[in-house]
Amino acid sequence: MAGSRDAEAGDARAARRRIHEVVLAHIEDQIATGTLKAGDRLPAERDLATALGASRSAVREAIRILEAMGTVVQGTGSGPDSGTLLSAVPGAALTHLISLHVMLASIDTTDVVRARIALERESTRLAAKHARPQDHAVLAEHLTAMAAPGIGVAEFNDLDTAFHLAIAEAGGNVLVAELTTALRTAMRPTLLRALQAVADFPSMAARLAGEHQAIHDAILAGDGDLAAARVEAHIDGFYSAARPHRQRR
Amino acid sequence: MAGSRDAEAGDARAARRRIHEVVLAHIEDQIATGTLKAGDRLPAERDLATALGASRSAVREAIRILEAMGTVVQGTGSGPDSGTLLSAVPGAALTHLISLHVMLASIDTTDVVRARIALERESTRLAAKHARPQDHAVLAEHLTAMAAPGIGVAEFNDLDTAFHLAIAEAGGNVLVAELTTALRTAMRPTLLRALQAVADFPSMAARLAGEHQAIHDAILAGDGDLAAARVEAHIDGFYSAARPHRQRR
DNA sequence: CCCGTCGTGTGGTCGGACCACATGTGGTCC
DNA sequence: GGACCACATGTGGTCCGACCACACGACGGG
């Protein structure tokens, strides 16, 4: 049935839908109905192709999309790690998506900041309620690392991200945590530029460290509202301070 | 240089990176540096392939990913709408991504609800500050439509989504609006199931309509905090009421 | 019993062919 | 001269068949 352009059946009336979209819909349908679930293995590309009457290229394009969405991982060779498996790791995909759109300027950075604040207020409030000792340990660890004298801009920023992410994870809401990471990561280049433009980085680092400490304290105290307010002030304050340095282009 | 597995150059040391990833990185690099921006046209697939020393399949897979991210649209034929153009419409991609992960249960629906609340609190607060007369008109329109007697479950739900989306758009934050839509759309199947399980749908619709009206009133009054609180109660309340109906699986 | 080898199955890649579609260009007919 | 039609051209869409790289598992020799 390969090269049959001759109108396979009566379904030809449908709009010219690309084949890989049909394949994609087929797979997503099985996901929606529970026929396929995380951890399952998809049929081999070749089998899927013949089963759906499509070419392997079409199947591959569909799988490529699923992979980009973070719902599938592929491995070569044989064995348990080979083949196409349904995973469920939205983080990287989300980050990729947001980053692309920030780069394309289809999303304004101030919008990202506001969204971050909204999400982190929530995750911080959750963290204040649910954080366990080990979560606090992680946070404290990041705080210590950030206090290292002579720390570089990039390292500081990455620790900063890790700190905020740890809060989100302590909150226990997977989606909020993933979104927080995605937004924070998407802003990384912007943040680095801003930090590098800061005249007195050490004092800026000290100020941010102090704010982080205050946030942690509020979380430790279980005061969600206070922690949330401090997070908002922390994020908002930094961007307000950094924004004046506008890069050309 | 096509089938050359013989270590093209010194770059062989790099990990086995799939070719489409290289192509993708190449394009994203041009986006990051501003060489390519929204509205621009990518080279033809064949040209890109020869230019990068890759096969057309590889290029197509990379483009497929970009398309899935909502950064590219393709059109056949010639003319201004043909070829591969950089767009910047994150909405559909975001929705697709979230929906997939909700279906795969890699994201818990209660997490989605909490995230929605966090985002909609923000957008509602923004709407209370920035909404213009035409925004209010749209909101009022949706409210009227939802009040139609004998309205069906699906229609009501879609209008509900439209109402919340309109608020997000009135707030003026593109990212928050897109995220709101994505989360709301991802929850659509779940919401429909819940609504269909409601014994007395008309009275439920009336209750929700009343809450919507109250939210709109607060926005009209410019009281962001009140509006935000009402939105939170509205969303939280509905899910709490509907959750008891747990579907097997 | 251990270990190397080879078979087999999986994704990764390629190139070339052809289709469908939309436009532009030119010639033709009135 | 102007309206119109046919073909050349360029773009994505699709498919096929082949081969590579890789990893596991079975088989057989030492």
DSSP assignment of B28-46: HHHHHTTSS-TT-BPPPHH
Nearest to B65 among A28, A65, A103 (CB): A65
State, as a whole number of angstroms, the distance between the CA of A101 and the C1' of C15: 34
- Would the pLDDT of B11 be above 50? no
Q: Looking at beta carbons, which residues of chain B come within 8 Å of A108?
A: 174-175
Highest mean pLDDT: which range of B81-85, B188-192, B227-231: B227-231
Q: Mean pLDDT across chain B, nearest whole number?
A: 89
Q: What is the pLDDT of residue B79?
A: 82
DSSP 3-state of B85: strand
Q: What is the pLDDT of residue A218?
A: 96
Q: Which of B57, B94, B100, B112 to mutate to test the interface with A (most CBs of A within 10 A)?
A: B100
**Contact (CB<8Å) A71/B101:** yes
Q: Which has the minimum average pLDDT: A13-22, A211-220, B206-215, B233-242?
A: A13-22
Q: Which residue is nearest to nucleotide C9 (CA to C1')?
A: A78
Q: What is the pLDDT of residue B15?
A: 58
Q: What is the pLDDT of residues B133-189, one digit of tens each?
A: 999 999 999 999 998 888 889 999 999 999 999 999 999 999 999 999 999 999 999
Closest nucleotide to B59 by C1' from CA: C13
Q: What percent of chain B has pLDDT over 70?
A: 91
Cα angle A62, A64, A66 (rounded to 5 degrees) comes to: 75
Q: What is the pLDDT of residues A36-48, one digit of tens each?
A: 999 999 999 999 9
Residues 207 through 246 of chain B touching chain A, CB cutoff 8 Å = none
DSSP type of residue A199: S
- Would the pLDDT of A98 be above 60? yes
Q: What is the pLDDT of residue A81?
A: 85
B20 lies within 8 A of chain A by CB: yes
The sign of the CA dihedral A105, B31, B99, A70 is negative
Q: How far is B232 from chain A (nearest CA, A)?
A: 12
Q: Which residue is nearest to nucleotide D13 (CA to C1')?
A: A18
Tokens of A61: 């394009």
Are B48 and B58 spatial neighbours (Cβ–Cβ below 8 Å)? no
Distances from the Cα of B75 to the Cα of A180, A243, B72, B92, B200, angstroms = 35, 39, 10, 18, 48
Q: How far is A17 from chain B (nearest CA, A)?
A: 13
A13 pLDDT band, cuts 50/70/90, is very low
- Would the pLDDT of A5 be above 60? no
CA nearest neighbour of A114 among B91, B173, B166: B173
Tokens of A100: 């692309």
Q: Which has the minimum average pLDDT: B113-117, B138-142, B176-180, B202-206?
A: B202-206
Q: What is the pLDDT of residue B225?
A: 94
Q: Long-range CB contacts (< 8 A, 24+ apart) of A81-87?
A: A83/A41, A83/A42, A83/A44, A84/A41, A84/A42, A84/A44, A84/A45, A85/A39, A85/A40, A85/A41, A85/A42, A86/A31, A86/A36, A86/A37, A86/A38, A86/A39, A86/A40, A86/A41, A86/A42, A86/B104, A87/A38, A87/A39
A239 pLDDT band, cuts 50/70/90, is confident
Fill in the amino acid letter for A180. T
Whether pTM > 0.85 for this model: the answer is yes
- Would the pLDDT of A2 be above 70? no
Q: What is the mean pLDDT of residues B33-41?
A: 93
Q: How far is A47 from chain B (nearest CA, A)?
A: 19
CA B231/CA A20 separation, integer angstroms: 40
Residues 102 through 121 of chain A touching chain B, CB cutoff 8 Å = 103-108, 111-112, 114-115, 117-119, 121
DSSP 3-state of B14: coil
Q: What is the pLDDT of residue B244?
A: 55
**Contact (CB<8Å) B70/A97:** yes
Query: Alpha helix (H) ranges present in chain A?
Result: 19-32, 45-52, 56-68, 90-103, 109-130, 133-146, 153-171, 174-186, 188-197, 201-220, 224-242
**Contact (CB<8Å) A31/B176:** no
A230 pLDDT band, cuts 50/70/90, is very high
Q: What is the mean pLDDT of residues A108-130?
A: 94
Nearest to A93 among B97, B173, B175 (CB): B97
DSSP 3-state of A150: coil
CA nearest neighbour of A156 among A105, A80, A212: A212
A8 pLDDT band, cuts 50/70/90, is very low
CA A48/CA A26 separation, integer angstroms: 10
**Contact (CB<8Å) A104/B71:** yes
Q: What is the mean pLDDT of residues A221-228?
A: 95
- Would the pLDDT of B224 be above 70? yes
Q: What is the pLDDT of residue A79?
A: 83
DSSP type of residue A148: -
Going by C-beta distance under 8 Å and a sequence separation of 6 or more, which residues neighbour residue A54?
A19, A20, A22, A23, A48
Q: Mean pLDDT across chain A, nearest whole number?
A: 89
CB environment B50-78: b (16+ within 10 A), e (fewer)? eebebbebbbbbbbbbbbbbbbbebeeee
State, as a whole number of angstroms, the distance between the CA of A80 and the C1' of D25: 12
Highest mean pLDDT: which range of A164-173, B199-208, B235-244: A164-173
CA A15/CA A126 separation, integer angstroms: 47
A39 lies within 8 A of chain B by CB: no
Fill in the amino acid letter for B158. D
Residue of chain B whose Cα is closest to the Cα of A67: B65
Phi, psi (degrees; rounded to nearest 5) at A184: -60, -45
Chain D footprint bases within 7 A of protein beta carbons: 9-18, 20-25
Q: What is the mean pLDDT of residues A49-70?
A: 97
**Contact (CB<8Å) B122/A117:** yes
B78 pLDDT band, cuts 50/70/90, is confident
Q: What is the pLDDT of residue A244?
A: 55
A243 pLDDT band, cuts 50/70/90, is low
Chain C footprint bases within 7 A of protein beta carbons: 7-17, 19-24
Q: What is the mean pLDDT of residues B47-76?
A: 96
Residues 128 through 167 of chain A touching chain B, CB cutoff 8 Å = none
Question: Counting one residue from A and one from B, how many pairs have CB atoms under 8 Å apart?
Answer: 153
Location of structure tokens 């980053």: A99
For the packed helices B109-130 and A174-186, what is the interaxial angle rounded to 10 degrees? 50
**Contact (CB<8Å) A106/B38:** yes
Q: What is the mean pLDDT of residues A62-91?
A: 93
